[in-house]
């Protein structure tokens, strides 16, 4: 297992980039705009982590900006909702999820696609698990397992 990134939701992408990049000195590594999902992801790294982030896609912070709705309204994040999740890449997502499940952990978003799953820590912190390399072929019981709770 290897640490990837921490996701933080932001209400004003420009103000956030000014803070993280101009004031804190972080470097933008990559950006993704999703027209369909109506969000922008910006991945940042500390200057000394830039090369590792470019090669390994880690360690980084992911700023998630959810675009305004049709009425121009944006969501305000309260009660810790601005913190999204921790992300780790694993060698075998099915075996890893099975180990967690055998240990009493609820798989909130099963790895139906052989690529991504979500669980929560005992304190409710959302943790994203990503398959290293290519997605694994769909496999039961994961492929037909429904989501449970929030992730």
Catalogue the active-site residues: 128
Question: What pairs with residue 85 in β-bridges?
Answer: 7
Angstrom distance (rounded) from CA 132 to CA 122: 25
Helices (H), the chain: 13-17, 50-56, 93-102
Tokens 């709770």, located at residue: 149
């Amino acid at each position: 297992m290897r640490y990837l990134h921490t996701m933080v939701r932001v209400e004003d992408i420009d103000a956030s980039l000014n803070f993280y990049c101009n004031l804190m000195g972080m470097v933008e590594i990559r950006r993704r705009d999703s027209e369909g999902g109506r969000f922008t992801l910006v991945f940042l790294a500390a200057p000394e982590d830039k090369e590792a982030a470019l090669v390994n896609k880690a360690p980084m912070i992911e700023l998630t900006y959810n675009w305004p709705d049709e009425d121009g309204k944006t969501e305000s994040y309260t009660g810790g909702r601005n913190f999204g999740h921790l992300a780790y890449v694993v060698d075998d997502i099915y075996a890893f999820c099975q180990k967690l499940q055998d240990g009493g952990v609820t798989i909130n978003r099963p790895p139906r696609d052989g690529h991504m799953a979500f669980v929560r820590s005992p304190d409710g912190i959302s943790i994203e698990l990503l398959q290293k390399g290519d997605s694994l072929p769909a496999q039961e019981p994961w492929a037909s397992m429904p989501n449970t709770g929030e992730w």
